[in-house]
Each structure stands twice: as C-alpha cells, then as structure tokens.
Structure 1
Amino acid sequence: MLDIPRDNEKSFAEGKILKSMTEGVGVVTFNNPEKRNAMSLDMWEGLGQALTELRDNPEVRVVILTGAGDKAFMSGADISQFEKNRHNAQASEEYSRRSDAQRALLANYPKPTIACIRGFCLGGGMQVAMLTDIRIAAANSQFGIPAAKLGIAYSYDGLKHLVSLVGPSWARLLLYTGMRIDSAEAERIGLVDRVVADGQVWNATFEIARTISGNAPLAIQAAKITIAQALKDPDQRDMKAIKAIGTACMDSEDFREGRRAFMEKRKPHFKGR
C-alpha cells in the first residue's frame, strides 16, 4: 500500500477522489480500488474540484496524482457506466464534454504535476498520466490503450500526447493492437520517466515533489511555460509570455534570496514572489 500523507484530507465524489497536502505537496488520489480506480463522471468532476482547490492554495507548489491500493493508478473509464452515459455518439459527446473540462484543467495546470503509477494504467488512465509533467512508475505497472477492443476512438488530445512521448510508430502499435506493455518497456520508449521498485515508488515520487517544492516557484513556472511553448509550432508560440515570466524571475524577491543564500552558503527560502 502507498503511505500517502493524509494532512488536511478532503474527499469528493462520495469519497472516490481524495485531496491532501503536506510540505507544499498536494496529493490527489483516485480512490475506487474495487474497480481498479476506474473513473465515473462524478469522479471526473471531483478530480476537477480537487485540482482547482490545490491550484488556488498558495501553500501548494507541486501536485502528485496517484491511485488507491496497489492494483492500479487508473484502469480507465468505468465501463459499467457506458450503457447509461456512452451508449451512442450523442451520449458519448456529452460524457466527453464533461470529462474534457477536467482534462483541460490538468493540461493547462500552472503548477508542476507528477503521476505516481502503480499497477494498471490503461485507457483514460494513460491519458491522465500523459497530461502530467513527470511520470514515475513502479516496476509492476502495466500500460495500454484498449480502445480497439471496446470499439471506441481514443481522443485527439490523448493521441497527440502519446505521439509526442513515444512517436507515431509506437502509438500505432499500442492503438492498433490494444496490447499492454510493462514498466521497463514504457521507460524504454519514453512513456514514463523513471521506474522504481514496487515498494519504493511513493517515497521516490514524494522526494522528487519535495525537491521541486523547495525550489523557486517562479523559476519552475518559467520552465513549465517555456517548455509548453517550445512544443508548439513556431507560429503558435507565445514569446511574450516567455519574456514576461523571465522578467518576473529576474525582478523577484526569490532571485535576490537565491543570490544571498548562495553567497551565505545556506539553503534558500523561496516565497514565490
């Protein structure tokens, strides 16, 4: 089991989404282990609420997403809801509209995000993981997109992120076959960033988050903004946004604190301004 801090814990979606915060690190837990953390519409909306509250909390500097139990990060959408919510194109469009808003929130999140993955990470779970900035996986994790086995089309945004991480050939292989791959293969093709022993994945992820939390927030924001713009086509890049955050860093109290701490050979205390 993952030893997740429970400081200031709050629940959403009747307890199936949990939010907590400790040491500047926000944690969102998909808490539906009986269904391998499959996502219902209520859970999608609860995820949006949890992410919004952590986004708006100035004490939170980085957010980890993880799954309850040791079986899954997220096994995708709750298929038992398909007959009610996704039985045809019109119903599926409404489902997508409501869940897409939460994915867009994560895609444009202003703070660093990390997926701590253990067990199954499938379908919509892979899409959520790919929307985070960093993916840390336990050695026992499995990854796949079974859309072709369900007769559904994987979303454009999900495929765009998949292709950007693993390239078009691996994206085709994963989508056409619906195959699952293990953590070692996922790391080799660039789907995850680091693989850790099963019992150490939470501690390893939290240590990375704590390191990020201790660094200068404006500098991290500058890196996040610049990388996001670099991934766009040249004519779509917002160079003014890059210049603005660079200027904000150079004029910040944190930059002065960083210089003083370096000269005084001590750990800096950044305030994000």
Structure 2
Amino acid sequence: MDDKKPFADGAIIALTADTGIGRLTIARPEKRNALTDAMWRALPAAIAWLVKTRAMRVIVIEGAGGRDFSAGADIGEFETLRKDAGTARAYETANSAAFAAIRTCPVPVIAAIRGICFGGGFGLAAAADLRLADTSARFAIPAARLGLAYPPDAVQDLVRALGDQQARRALYTAGELSAAEALACGCLLSVSDADRLDAEVDALAARMAAAAPLSVRASKAAISAGPAPQSRDRADRLAAATFDSEDYAEGRRAFMEKRAPAFSGR
C-alpha cells in the first residue's frame, strides 16, 4: 500500500503506508516551508486522497527538511493575491478550506513540529488534533506586525490550541512562544529532544492506527461536535454504529481470548 502522490507541483507530498499512517509533508524547505496559494488549495485534495482513497487511519503533518514546520503563507504573493480586501477574501477562502480539511478530517491528525511554526503554518498545526514538537519549535502569529487579520475560523482554532489568554497575547503582540511556553499552556502534547521527535510521533500514530477506526472516528466527532443539532446528530450516529460493527465483535472476542484485536474498520 505504500504510495506517494505529489500535489501543487510537489510542494505538498502525501505518503501512505501499510501501517495505516499517512503523511502529509509541506515540501518547500528552501523557503522554510512557506505555503503558496497553490499549496493552500492543494491541501484539502491531499487529505482527501489519504483518507478517502487510501483509507489511512491517522495523518501526520510535517515540514520537509528537518528544520521548520512552516513559516506560514508566502508573503511574496501578497502584493498580487492579498493586496486588498477583495483579493484577501478570495485568498483566505483557500486558507479556510485548508484549515477546515484538517479540522474536520474524520481521522486523527498529528502535527509534528520543528523550528518555525508561524502564521498560517501555526494555523494548520492549531487545526490538528494533536501537536508534538521538539525543543527548537517556535510559535508566532505575525498578523499585528503585518497589519492584517486572520480568518475567524483560524483564530478560533488558535484559541482552542493556546487557550484564551495566550491566544490574545499571541494575536495582539505578534510575539513568539517557545516550545516550553506552548507546552505549559496546553498547546502541545509533548516536547522532545530533536532526535526523539520522530520516534514519539511514530509511536503515538501507531497506537492510534491500531485502535478501532470506527471508535476513533466517533470519538473525534463527539469531541468536535458544536451546538448545531446536525453535528451532534452525526456524532450520535457514528457512536451508535460502533455497536453493530464487526470491530465491536472482534474487540469482544479478543478480550475474551486475551489477545490483541485486529480491527478492520467495518
């Protein structure tokens, strides 16, 4: 099942594995993995390919080059693609679609963060379910330094990730947070030494991929359910469906037989 598919002329790379762990790499290391408009637009399709076409059970998002997660949007495009309110709305529609693709992805998304995680890059990480970093990670939202504002949906992701007070500080001052500060406010699940991050991420992703997929999807839907009745109804339907699944029967058998279950996602 191992397969690789490039998007946005290879600046976004989706990779599958027999383990059920998909990887999405922001592959522009010469620009600190800054995202072009084409890359923003490609992200939803890349995620859909991993989940719907290749049935990955977990997705790991990372930056190429082993140095930075992402510097955010490529400011070099702003003079044409984000020069005023009209063009900014069109540009940010693609941004919001990328954030939403991560936020609403039916399977867990893990952000593996090294180095710079700024602006829209931080927005991608904030939309993920879990964030793990190494000690080099640095976080910032430079909107107040550039004189622009971020889409409200991205701001809400940042509030959920950082907490109200740290999100306000980050947005109002454009100041940086260290990995230790991000860990302290609950933005990060863990901080590792540089040579341990991949192992930490792989171990966590493997545990998720080995769990019952329908159960994990139902849990994610329940965690994400908002006040709208349709989102709660969807979470209820996914939870109820687990009890009629083959995986539930397999889980019961495995427990009685004192063995590890082999879940199929059916």
Scaled to the shorter chain, the TM-score interval is: over 0.9
Aligned: 1:257 with 2:253: no
Post-superposition Cα deviations, 1:192-239, rounded to whole Å, max 9, x if no partner, equal: 11111111111211111111111100110111011112xx34x65744
In the aligned structure 1, how far is the partner of 2:151 from the partner of 2:229? Answer: 22
Aligned: 1:186 with 2:161: no
Aligned: 1:16 with 2:16: no
Secondary structure in 1 aligned to 2:145?
A: helix
- 1:48 aligned to 44, 48, 53, which one? 44
In the aligned structure 1, how far is the partner of 2:107 from the partner of 2:49? Answer: 12
Percent of aligned pairs with the same amino acid: 38
C-alpha displacement at 1:59, in angstroms?
A: 3.6
Distance 1:239 1:100, change over 3 A: closer
C-alpha displacement at 1:240, in angstroms?
A: 2.7
- Tell me the residue number matched to 2:129: 133
Number of matched pairs: 265
RMSD over aligned CA atoms reads 1.6
- 2:153 aligned to 148, 151, 157, which one? 157
C-alpha displacement at 1:58, in angstroms?
A: 5.0
Aligned counterparts, 1:1-273, within 5 A: 7-22=2-17, 23-229=19-225, 232-233=226-227, 236=229, 238-273=231-266
Secondary structure in 1 aligned to 2:53?
A: coil
| Partners of 2:96 and 2:153 within 8 A in 1 | no
Of stretches 164-173 and 27-36 in structure 1, the one that deviates more from structure 2 is 164-173
Amino acid at match of 1:184: A
C-alpha displacement at 1:272, in angstroms?
A: 0.7
Specify every segment of 5 or more residues in structure 2 that has no aligned partner in the other structure, as ranges. none
Of stretches 163-172 and 33-42 in structure 1, the one that deviates more from structure 2 is 163-172
Specify every segment of 5 or more residues in structure 1 that has no aligned partner in the other structure, as ranges. 1-5
Of stretches 141-150 and 196-205 in structure 1, the one that deviates more from structure 2 is 196-205
C-alpha displacement at 1:102, in angstroms?
A: 2.3
In the aligned structure 1, how far is the partner of 2:120 from the partner of 2:208? Answer: 27
Distance 1:210 1:178, change over 3 A: same
In the aligned structure 2, how far is the partner of 1:101 from the partner of 1:159? Answer: 14
Of stretches 238-247 and 148-157 in structure 1, the one that deviates more from structure 2 is 238-247
The runs of at least 4 consecutive aligned structure 1 residues that moved more than 6 Å come to none
Post-superposition Cα deviations, 1:121-151, rounded to whole Å, max 9, x if no partner, equal: 0000111001111101111100010111111
Secondary structure in 2 aligned to 1:205?
A: helix
- Tell me the residue number matched to 1:3: none
Post-superposition Cα deviations, 1:245-272, rounded to whole Å, max 9, x if no partner, equal: 2221111110110111111111111011
Amino acid at match of 1:251: D
Amino acid at match of 1:143: F
In the aligned structure 1, how far is the partner of 2:237 from the partner of 2:7? Answer: 36
Of stretches 168-177 and 31-40 in structure 1, the one that deviates more from structure 2 is 168-177
C-alpha displacement at 1:62, in angstroms?
A: 0.7
Query: TM-score, normalised on structure 2?
Result: 0.95
In the aligned structure 2, how far is the partner of 1:145 from the partner of 1:241? Answer: 33
Secondary structure in 1 aligned to 2:22?
A: strand
In the aligned structure 2, how far is the partner of 1:12 from the partner of 1:174? Answer: 31
| Partners of 2:96 and 2:154 within 8 A in 1 | no
